[in-house]
A and B are shown apart, each in its own frame.
Chain A
Amino acid sequence: MPNDVKTGSLAPDKKLKWVGTRPLRPDGVDKVTGRAKFGADFSLPGMLIGKVLRSPHPHARIKSIDTSKAEVLPGVKAVVTRDDFHDMESEFVPAGEMLVNYRDMVRNVMAREKVLYDGHAVAAVAATSNAVAKRALKLIEVDYEPLPHVIDVLEAMEPDAPLLHEDMITAGVEPAPDKPSNVAKVVEFAIGDVEAGFAQAEVIVERTFQTKPVHQAYIEPHACVASVSEDGQAELWCTTQGHYVVRGHCARLLGMDVSKIRVTASEIGGGFGGKTVVYLEPLALALSAKACRPVKMVMSRDEVFRASGPTSGAHMRIKVGATKDGRITAAEADLKYQAGAFQGSPVQPGAMCAFAPYDLENVKVVGYDVVTNRPKVAAYRAPGAPISEYAVECVIDELARKLGLDPIDFRLANAAKEGTRAAYGPKFGPIGLVETLQEAKAHPHYTAPLGPDQGRGVASGFWFNIGGETCAALNINEDGTAALMIGTPDIGGSRASLCMMAAEELGIDLDRIRPIIADTSSLGYTFLTGGSRVTFASGMATIDAAQDAVRQLCERAAKIWEIPSDAVEWEDGYAKPAGANAGDFEPMSLAEVAKVAGKTGGPIVGHAQINAQGAGPSFGTHIVDVEVDRETGRVTVVRYTVVQDAGKAVHPAYVEGQYQGGAVQGIGWALNEEYIYGEDGRLENPGFLDYRIPVASDVPMIDTVIVEVPNPRHPYGVRGVGETPIVPPMAAITNALADALGIRFTELPMSPPKVLEAIGEAAAGG
């Protein structure tokens, strides 16, 4: 079996029946039969179709918008523009792993003074059919004054660059600049004294790197149906990673009471962070409120690429110094991330993560958040980290080779451990980086022979993971089955994992528990599916809710037996008299207690409402072999192994799925994915033909090794696992190419033309 599970020393000694097994997921049959309802699958009687008019310009002032012709077209029931949205105060609020600003958000969902990127929404219509809606869009007259635009991050930082926001003064610099620029913010994290550190170094590597924006490339486009009644009550069905967050954003943008919006999350066909923000939802609600009819909106793939996601492209400088015996003495990074049209790139987490895998005394990281005429970036799997850690892990590899050290040994010599203080502040608790490095080194892959034109690379990666506000409810049914209500949309198999934890606590069979993702009016506020938090945080809430139900079950048994409730124990699905009363009564099963609940106090429901704390960071180490076609520049990934710490793999198959999926997305990022803009500032590849994510035949079977160093803050030791796997691939592949060709690539993607050119230059002695 290629996929092993390695258990760490802290594993709970409790014998587990469900946690750690691989049952089929409860949502599986619906998904493979096509029964599952995704965003575009909802329909309502009388429903209208909504469509968005989008800017053809990368940057232009909107002089006027005339919708009068569209409004009188038969079949058009509503038209909305900037005039239908109130302006908002500038205010940053946390949303997932990113911050949002409502002043920017209202402008991103509907352009106000200016359009800031090709694809920026300028108007929306709702009509009785798709064809009428499309015709109506053509009748809307927008008078634009085109302005010079800027796409590249370094060009955007030039003093004479076209300004996206005439009032943007760089935050985080003292004294504040007196002129506006495209640099929204500068962040800095430092410990020790880097100059002194570099003075001690015997070998220093310094390089600059560039990455391109890449899209989350979820297969399901954004889609929703909104229905607002005459009295202002709204229902919204949408594909999202967090329906409570959608509700909150829509309430703010539309000036509605939160209680008047009920949001139901559909099944979700991928999100990867890109479905943590709103695009269509406020427009659909505004159109529906105007038309008093339900409105359905679905993005085309072209719209998804032009107007949603992606993550930042960046320009970075990394410098790391070490002594000859392999101890890093100083590390420095400048990170310039482009944010798209509005500030809020993930440069801050990128800066925090850059050197997080290492135990360093002298570190300085400076990050710049830069606006450009591209779609506003959204979170993408470990937002910011894959970019900065890519650059750092390439430099670490080069340094190891210069020192004549094995790259894994070099990492081990500098690896962060329990007690290491990270450059961004906190001290790590128990973490598994060392274990992943040791497992990688011991893995047969690491020493397998390589063929001609092949090379091997390794890289490590880190992501924080988060907890946060979470509710769960567990209804004990009259026949002894249970319904689990959770508020985090299931993207990676979480319904299965959460039910497994509930089954473990209740001591009943897994198939007796049926999960649902509750709508926003049925369960308390629950933060979104992101930050690798669901198995951890919704898991904790589920366990709490199950323990609450168990407490009630014990009380009911105590009542029946007429003994104190603390004299009843719960064991393997049975209430048992304990202590002085042990053996006095026949144990009662959950089903038996549930059956008579009506006579012992009414329904039994376990509840939990928590703010989950203590998320454990996850580290991973990847090994990859590539083969290069020296005549065409094509790079083929021939073998790939992911080693990562899961804390505890509740459902190992779905943990492996996360590892494999992250590696595959990373392979795309490394080799082919990029946004291509023309001179005119328009996106030239808004589709999967020319935006090349890997297809199945592009990647080998990704091997996985699950390391388990338990997170002491979770009852089963769970850490998040969803994001870390996308961090190491870009550097691992770059390092493998260096091994194969002796060429250090410093730009992503390493597409065939670039690889061939570099091979040509190297042959010419360049």
Chain B
Amino acid sequence: MRYEAPETLDAAVALLAGADGETRLLAGGTDLLVQLRAEMIEPALVVDVKRIPELCAIAAEDGGFRIGAAVTGAELGEHAALKAAWPGVVEAAELIGSTQIQGRATLGGNLCNASPAADSVPALIAAGATASIAGPHGRRQAPVEEIVTGPGETSLAKGEIVVSFLLPARPPHSSDAYLRFIPRTEMDIAVVGVGISLTLDESGTCGAARVVLGAVAERVLLVPEAAEALIGTAVDEAALARLGEAASAACRPIDDKRGTKEYRIKVAAVLARRAAQIALERARRN
């Protein structure tokens, strides 16, 4: 296994594009090292991306934020302006692992590891985040929901690296929230995760919403029907009930050691209602 730590994006892309055999990127390594040690993967080349400046910065852009794919959870949590604008994204990233894991784990790694239960992904998709991708044929932009195609599978081509995520500017009275259910309080993997972002008009009616479910299908699901249950309502009891039903209806989970189908379907509704209420409270304060 070869290990490289290039300092430019071009060098990283060239290394990946020119490699024979399996390649992996090393961001925080909190998925990669576990998989290496468990002998689940045996890559020929590992490219560390932490020395590439573009992947490691948070910057304001067009009224929103551009977040490097290799920024850690701890750094996100310390960014006051980002946290104020996108509390749901930050709380999702901060849920990953423990204090120790937070010092390493990144959004890029969480997304590209392609687990259906990755915590920050529903929040990023609910936020309408766009990924900026560098590859042998230049740059492209893609909505985050288009990156993961199935467990461990992405739409990234050979040599492609996720460089950063753009979170758009926020209209007034907007906010987001992320909730997950785990049997413990920490150090666990989501049985269900729900990310919700919404915007209220001056009268308090929900004008726009995105509802995203994690861990209830082969990949994270953007559920427009669930968002429609909120749009045009005051996010009242009736709307929340319809939201829950739409969330449950969208689930297509499996029975596994982490939860039964029925359980995941029921809890998706509960978490969707609770996340919407949190996002609503936050949006009202903005």
Question: In the complex, what residues of B have CB within 8 A of residue A676's CB?
Answer: 257
Q: Which of A134, A631, A692 contacts B184 (CB 8 A)?
A: A692
Interface assignment of B100: CB less than 8 Å from any CB of chain A: no
- Given contacts A684-B257, A753-B259, whether A632 and B267 have CB atoms under 8 Å apart is yes
Verify B189–A689 contact, CB threshold 8 A. yes
Verify B184–A694 contact, CB threshold 8 A. yes
Verify B184–A690 contact, CB threshold 8 A. no
Min C-beta distance of A47 to chain B, whole Å: 21
Q: Which of B39, B183, B259, B260 contacts A692 (CB 8 A)?
A: B183
CB-based nearest A residue for B266: A756
CB-based nearest B residue for A671: B183
Interface assignment of A697: CB less than 8 Å from any CB of chain B: yes
Min C-beta distance of A83 to chain B, whole Å: 28
Interface assignment of A715: CB less than 8 Å from any CB of chain B: no
Question: In the complex, what residues of A have CB within 8 A of residue B189's CB?
Answer: 689-690
Interface residue ranges of A644-701 to B (CB < 8 Å):
671-672, 676, 684-685, 688-690, 692, 694-695, 697-698
Interface residue ranges of B11-47 to A (CB < 8 Å):
38-39
Question: In the complex, what residues of A have CB within 8 A of residue B10's CB?
Answer: none
CB-based nearest A residue for B258: A690
Verify A692–B188 contact, CB threshold 8 A. yes
Verify B270–A752 contact, CB threshold 8 A. no
Question: In the complex, what residues of B have CB within 8 A of residue A302's CB?
Answer: 38
Min C-beta distance of B258 to chain A, whole Å: 7
Question: In the complex, what residues of B have CB within 8 A of residue A692's CB?
Answer: 183-184, 188
Interface assignment of B237: CB less than 8 Å from any CB of chain A: no
Residue total for A at the interface (Cβ-Cβ under 8 A): 24
Q: Which of B38, B183, B186, B270 contacts A751 (CB 8 A)?
A: B183
Interface assignment of A639: CB less than 8 Å from any CB of chain B: no
Min C-beta distance of B233 to chain A, whole Å: 21
Min C-beta distance of A142 to chain B, whole Å: 19
Residue total for B at the interface (Cβ-Cβ under 8 A): 20
Verify A632–B188 contact, CB threshold 8 A. no
Question: In the complex, what residues of A have CB within 8 A of residue B203's CB?
Answer: none
Question: In the complex, what residues of A have CB within 8 A of residue B266's CB?
Answer: 756
Verify A631–B185 contact, CB threshold 8 A. no
Min C-beta distance of A702 to chain B, whole Å: 16
Interface assignment of A634: CB less than 8 Å from any CB of chain B: yes
- Given contacts A631-B270, A632-B270, A756-B266, whether A695 and B257 have CB atoms under 8 Å apart is no
CA distance A751 to B191 in the complex (A): 13
- Given contacts A631-B270, A689-B189, A756-B263, whether A672 and B258 have CB atoms under 8 Å apart is no
Contact with A along B230-262 (1 / 0, CB 8 A): 000000000000000000000000000111101
CA distance A634 to B262 in the complex (A): 15
CA distance A753 to B266 in the complex (A): 10
Min C-beta distance of A17 to chain B, whole Å: 42
Question: In the complex, what residues of A have CB within 8 A of residue B185's CB?
Answer: 695, 697-698
Question: In the complex, what residues of A have CB within 8 A of residue B262's CB?
Answer: 753, 757
Residue among B38, B186, B189, B266 with the most chain A CB within 10 A?
B266
Contact with B along A629-648 (1 / 0, CB 8 A): 00111100000000000000
Verify B184–A752 contact, CB threshold 8 A. no
CB-based nearest B residue for A694: B184
Interface assignment of B142: CB less than 8 Å from any CB of chain A: no
Question: In the complex, what residues of A have CB within 8 A of residue B186's CB?
Answer: 695, 697-698
Verify B184–A753 contact, CB threshold 8 A. no
Question: In the complex, what residues of A have CB within 8 A of residue B187's CB?
Answer: 688-689, 695
- Given contacts A631-B270, A632-B270, A756-B266, whether A698 and B184 have CB atoms under 8 Å apart is yes
CA distance A698 to B184 in the complex (A): 6
Question: In the complex, what residues of A have CB within 8 A of residue B259's CB?
Answer: 753
Verify B270–A634 contact, CB threshold 8 A. no
Verify B257–A672 contact, CB threshold 8 A. no
Question: In the complex, what residues of A have CB within 8 A of residue B257's CB?
Answer: 676, 684-685, 690
Question: In the complex, what residues of B have CB within 8 A of residue A631's CB?
Answer: 267, 270
Interface residue ranges of B173-206 to A (CB < 8 Å):
181, 183-189, 191
CB-based nearest A residue for B189: A689
Min C-beta distance of B234 to chain A, whole Å: 22
- Given contacts A684-B257, A753-B260, A756-B266, whether A689 and B188 have CB atoms under 8 Å apart is yes
Question: In the complex, what residues of B have CB within 8 A of residue A633's CB?
Answer: 263
- Given contacts A695-B187, A753-B263, A756-B263, whether A632 and B181 have CB atoms under 8 Å apart is yes
Contact with B along A723-766 (1 / 0, CB 8 A): 00000000000000000000000000001110011000000000
Residue among B183, B262, B263 with the most chain A CB within 10 A?
B183
CB-based nearest B residue for A630: B270
Residue among A672, A688, A698 with the most chain B CB within 10 A?
A698
Min C-beta distance of B92 to chain A, whole Å: 18
Question: In the complex, what residues of A have CB within 8 A of residue B184's CB?
Answer: 672, 692, 694-695, 697-698
Interface residue ranges of B34-64 to A (CB < 8 Å):
38-39
Interface residue ranges of A611-644 to B (CB < 8 Å):
631-634
CA distance A751 to B184 in the complex (A): 10
Verify A672–B183 contact, CB threshold 8 A. yes
CB-based nearest B residue for A302: B38
Min C-beta distance of B86 to chain A, whole Å: 25
Min C-beta distance of A760 to chain B, whole Å: 8
CA distance A302 to B189 in the complex (A): 18
CA distance A419 to B158 in the complex (A): 79
Question: In the complex, what residues of B have CB within 8 A of residue A685's CB?
Answer: 257
CA distance A672 to B186 in the complex (A): 13
Min C-beta distance of A689 to chain B, whole Å: 6
Question: In the complex, what residues of B have CB within 8 A of residue A688's CB?
Answer: 187
CA distance A692 to B183 in the complex (A): 8
CA distance A633 to B270 in the complex (A): 11
Interface residue ranges of A194-219 to B (CB < 8 Å):
none
Interface residue ranges of B144-193 to A (CB < 8 Å):
181, 183-189, 191
Write 5 A-B pairs (CB below 8 A) sorted by A numbering. A676-B257, A688-B187, A689-B188, A692-B183, A692-B188
16 additional A-B pairs beyond A631-B270, A632-B267, A692-B183, beta carbons within 8 Å, are: A632-B181, A633-B263, A671-B183, A684-B257, A688-B187, A689-B187, A694-B184, A695-B184, A695-B185, A698-B184, A698-B185, A698-B186, A752-B181, A752-B183, A753-B262, A756-B263
Q: Which residues of A contact B (CB under 8 A)?
A: 134, 302, 631-634, 671-672, 676, 684-685, 688-690, 692, 694-695, 697-698, 751-753, 756-757
- Lowest 10 A-B CB distances belong to which pairs? A753-B263, A697-B185, A631-B270, A676-B257, A684-B257, A695-B186, A698-B185, A697-B186, A695-B187, A672-B183
